[in-house]
Structure 1
C-alpha cells in the first residue's frame, strides 16, 4: 500500500529542546492511502501537537515528517497540501458559510457549476443546507463546526486532518454524521487523521487507532486488536466502556495448578493446561502481576469467588453491576435485567480465556487468555 504520511522519531518540545515541556516523544508511525486513523488520548497526551506538526502549525523539534513521499516538516502549511478542520472552527467572518466551504475550490479556479455542486453535496451530508447564506457570527457553535468540517472535506488534499470535528454536536446528530462521514471518506479514497478523546468516535470512524499518553504512542492497531489484545495496562484500562477491571495478584504454582492470589484472601485457581507453555512459564517466573478482565467477560456463578453488590444499574439494554471484590471494585455487564440488592453476595467467575495479564512493574502485557501477548 502507498504510504501517505510517514512520521519518523518525532519529538516536540515547547521551550528549549531537552529542557522545555516534552509534549511528543520519539513518535513514529506510517499511514497508508485511504486509511482513517484516530489519535486517541486524554487532554495533554500529545495528539493535537502531533496533528499540528503534520499540518505545519507547530515546528518539529526533532525527527522528520514526509507527506506523499516527500519531506514536509520544513515546509510551510500552504505547501503541504493538507486540509484541516480545527476544533476552534476558524471560519472567515466576512464570508458566508457557502463562501467559506467553497473558498479552496474557488482558489483552485474550478468552474462555478462544479463548485456549486460540491458545496451542495457537502452541505446535504452535514445537514447545513439552510445556513449556507448566513455568516459565521449568526450561527451556533455546532453549525460552525459542521461548516469547518465541510470546508476541509470538500478539498482535494493528500491528508484531511480533523481536530475534534464533532465535539460540539448533540449525540444523536453526531451518531448519524459519523456513519456519513466515514462513507464519504472511504468512497473517495481520502486519507484522514482524526484527533479525539472520545473512544466511541475513534472506534466508529477509524481503521486504526493510535493511543497516546504522556506524549508516548502506547499502541497503534485496529480497534478490535486494541480491545482484545491491549499492549499494556494503560491501553487496556483507557480503551473500553465500562473500563477494564484490574487487580494486583501474586502468582503461585501448585502441582498442575496456577493460583492468582488476590487481596482479602481470595484467589483465582486455574489448571495449568488452560494456558500455553509460554504463558505458564511467563507467569510462574513472576511473583506479582496485574490481571485485567473486561466487564462483559465477568460471569456470575454459584461456586464463584465471593463479591458483595454495591450498585445495580439498568441502562435500558444492559445491566451494570458494581461489586466490592478483592479489596477493590469490580464491574460486570449483563444483557438481561438483573434484580440484585445492595449488600447481596454473588459469586464471580473469570474464565481463563478472558484473562489479561500485565507486568506489575512496566505495565507491559504478558498474556491475553491462553496466549502470550
Structure 2
C-alpha cells in the first residue's frame, strides 16, 4: 500500500442557515488514504464524519479544499462520474426494483454481461446472507435486510473507492460480528480502498487498518488502533478511545532535590522508587506546574502496589472484572481478566507503572508524554 488512492487537502464544509451564522461542520481536513487501505471515520454524532463521507461521494459540495481520487481531482465531478460505490445508512434502495435488481443496477449500467452479473450478485448475496430475499421488494423486507441489500449493492461494484455509512448499524450483534469478518476479508483479498463511518469503536477496531477520530469537525488523530490507545495525540482521543475510558487526574509537578515528581491533586505523589520524571519528559513538561495524568484501566493493578484506595464497585462481567476505587475524590477504574474478591468499602492497595502513564497539557489537551518518553 504505497500509492495514495484518496487525498483530502484543506477540506472545509460550511452549512449556511437562513438568518443564522454558518455551521462549520468540517475544518481544514487533511487526510491521505493508501490504495487498498480500510479507514474508519469514528466520532460522536455531529463530529463531521458523515459530512466528510458525503463530500467525497459528491452529495455535498466542498466549501474549500481539494479531494483527489485515483490521481484525478473530483471536486467538480457529479457523483456518477467519481467511480465511488456508497452504502447509505438510510438504505436508499429503489422501491420498484427487487433486491436482486437493486444489487445488479450498477452492473447493468456498466454493461456487465448477464452471466457475470448473476454470478457476482449471487456471491455478494451469500456473503451478506440475503439469498432468500433476492426476489422480494424493499417494502417487504426488514430494516436489517434492507441495510444488507444496500451494502451488497455497493460491494458488488468495481470502484476506485467504497464508502460505507454506518454499514451494519441495524444488524443483530451476532450477525454483525460475522459480517465484519467477511467484509474485511473481501476488501483485503480484492485490494479495495474503503472508508466507513461509525460511532462503534468495536466495529472500527475490527474493520479498519487506521482510524480517523473526529470531534467538532476537526480531525483529532489519524492512526492505528494501537497508537490511538498507546500514544493518543490529545486528551480527547485519550478519553474517547477505550472501554472503559482512560482514568485522568489533575496533578502538579513538584521538585525535591533536583528530582521532579507528579503529585495528584488531593492525592498521592507518584514517586516510582525515587526516580521521578526522566529528563526528556521533564523537558517536555517545560514550565508547566499543572498537568493532567492519565492511565488506562487495564494498566491499573488492584490488590498490590505502593498506593491505596477505597473500593466503591466491583463488577464481574463474565470474562473480566471492572473495579472502581476512590482516589483523591475521583474514581479510578481497573480492569482485569481475573476475579477480584475485594469487598465494597475496603481500602485496598493498587499500583501503576511509570511506563503506563500519559501526561497532557491541562489547557490545550495536547499530549506531552507517553510513559517516560515525550509524545
Aligned to 1:268: 270
The range that moved more, 257-266 or 325-334, is 257-266
State the Cα distance separating 1:302 from its structure 2 match.
4.3
Output aligned runs, 1:1-373, within 5 Å.
1-15=2-16, 19-255=21-257, 257-270=259-272, 273=275, 275-283=277-285, 285-373=287-375
State how far apart, in whole Å, the 2-side matches of 1:223 and 1:230 are.
10
Secondary structure of the equivalent of 1:120?
Answer: helix
Can you give the 5+ residue segments of structure 2 that lack an aligned partner in the other structure?
none
Q: CA deviation at 1:265?
A: 3.7
- The answer to whether the 8 Å contact 2:99/2:134 transfers is yes
Number of equivalenced pairs: 373
Retained in 2: the 8 A contact 1:313–1:320?
yes
After TM superposition, give the deviation of residue 15 of structure 1 in Å: 0.3
Whether the aligned pair in 2 keeps the contact of 1:256 and 1:272 (CA below 8 Å) is no
TM-score, length-normalised on structure 1? 0.97
What is the rounded CA distance, in whole Å, between the counterparts of 1:116 and 1:265 in structure 2? 67
Question: In the TM superposition, what is the alpha-carbon distance from 1:184 to its structure 2 partner?
Answer: 0.1
Deviations along 1:17-45, one digit per CA (max 9) or x if unpaired, are: 99400000000111111000000000000
Q: CA offset at residue 274 of structure 1?
A: 6.4
Do 1:257 and 1:270's aligned partners in 2 also have CA atoms closer than 8 Å?
no
**For the structure 1 residues 272 and 226, does the alpha-carbon distance in structure 2 shift closer, same or farther, using more than 3 Å as the test?**
farther
Q: Secondary structure at the match of 1:95?
A: coil
Query: Equivalents in 1 of 2:161, 2:344: separation in Å?
Result: 52
> Are the counterparts in 1 of residues 259 and 277 from structure 2 also a CA contact under 8 Å?
no
Whether contact under 8 Å (1:263, 1:327) holds in the other structure is no
Partners in 1 of 2:266 and 2:40 — Cα distance? 41
The CA distance in 2 between the partners of 1:134 and 1:254, in whole Å, is 76
Listed one character per residue, the Cα deviations across residues 323-347 of structure 1 (whole Å, up to 9, x for unaligned) are: 1112211110111111122111112
**Residues 105 and 115 in structure 1, CA contact (< 8 A), matched pair in contact too:** yes
Alignment CA distance shift 1:5-1:272 (3 Å)? farther
- Classify the secondary structure of the residue corresponding to 2:182: helix
The CA distance in 2 between the partners of 1:15 and 1:320, in whole Å, is 46
How far apart are the structure 2 equivalents of 1:283 and 1:69? 42
Cα distance in structure 2, aligned partners of 1:21 and 1:161: 24
Q: 2: CA distance between counterparts of 1:125 and 1:181? A: 8
Residue range with higher mean Cα deviation, 205-214 or 335-344: 335-344
Give the superposition deviation at 1:279: 0.7
Whole-Å Cα distance in 2 between the matches of residues 239 and 334 of structure 1?
A: 18
TM-superposed deviation, 1:266: 2.4
Given that 2:252 and 2:265 are in contact with CA atoms closer than 8 Å, whether structure 1 keeps it comes out as no
CA distance in structure 2 between the partners assigned to 1:31 and 1:152 by the alignment: 19
Distance across 1 between alignment mates of 2:22 and 2:129: 44
